[in-house]
């Protein structure tokens, strides 16, 4: 009688019949040694614990009121007249809602004229610089991979040039400032 057979007979006397689970080579269901299975389970539990402790924090997706300024340089008079406070503004390429125009400021267009090696700033006799203030709710994302203000999937940054449209006109402007209310 082998040592393993003695242990199996000893367990049978105690009312534990391991023969149903262990084969002749001592493998559980004929697949794996019970000691190896215990080590694998401990490693699996430790792995889950480490992953749960060191996973990155989820993105902070807060909807905040965002106010931004849009500058349209050298706009003709008919374009200035067609844009009014209260109109909705959409991005031309992706049809993203950019917000509602809340303020409009019109100034004579400033032109830079080069004379020889000098640059002279002059005002245009017929065109205007149009500054629009637009309000919208945007998501402020602060995470390890992305940081910024987003309208849907569109990231908005100061200095971005936008091709946008209202119900009556199409405009090309540059974002001057971004203000996020917290």
Among 55-69, 107-121, 135-149, 159-173, the range scoring the smallest mean pLDDT is 55-69
Is residue 43 domain-shared with residue 69, that is, in the same domain? no
- Confidence band (pLDDT; 50, 70, 90) for 141? confident
Is residue 95 domain-shared with residue 30, that is, in the same domain? no
Q: How many CB atoms lie within 10 A of CB 72?
A: 21
Tell me what pLDDT residue 1 has. Answer: 47
Residue pair 63/138 in contact (Cβ under 8 Å)? The answer is yes
**pLDDT, average across residues 16-44:** 72
Tell me what pLDDT residue 107 has. Answer: 93
Is residue 31 domain-shared with residue 69, that is, in the same domain? no
Is residue 102 domain-shared with residue 168, that is, in the same domain? yes
Number of domains making up the chain? 2
- Residue 41 predicted with pLDDT over 70: yes
Is residue 67 domain-shared with residue 26, that is, in the same domain? no
Integer-rounded Cα Rg, in Å, for the chain is 35
């Amino acid at each position: 009688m082998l040592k393993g057979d003695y242990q199996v007979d000893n367990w049978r006397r105690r009312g534990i019949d391991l023969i149903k689970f262990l084969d002749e080579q001592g493998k559980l269901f004929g697949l794996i040694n019970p000691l190896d299975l215990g080590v694998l389970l401990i490693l699996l539990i430790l792995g889950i614990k480490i992953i749960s402790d060191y996973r990155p924090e989820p993105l902070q997706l807060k909807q905040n009121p965002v106010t931004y300024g849009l500058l349209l340089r050298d706009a003709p008079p008919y374009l200035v007249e067609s844009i009014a406070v209260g109109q909705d503004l959409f991005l031309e390429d992706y049809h993203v809602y950019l917000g509602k125009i809340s303020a409009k400021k019109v100034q004579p267009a400033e032109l830079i004229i080069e004379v020889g090696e000098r640059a002279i700033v002059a005002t245009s006799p017929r065109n205007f610089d149009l500054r629009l203030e637009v309000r919208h709710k945007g998501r402020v994302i602060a995470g390890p991979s992305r940081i910024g203000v987003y309208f849907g999937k569109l990231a908005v940054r100061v200095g971005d040039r936008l091709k946008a449209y209202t119900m009556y006109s199409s405009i090309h402007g540059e974002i001057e400032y971004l203000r996020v209310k917290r």
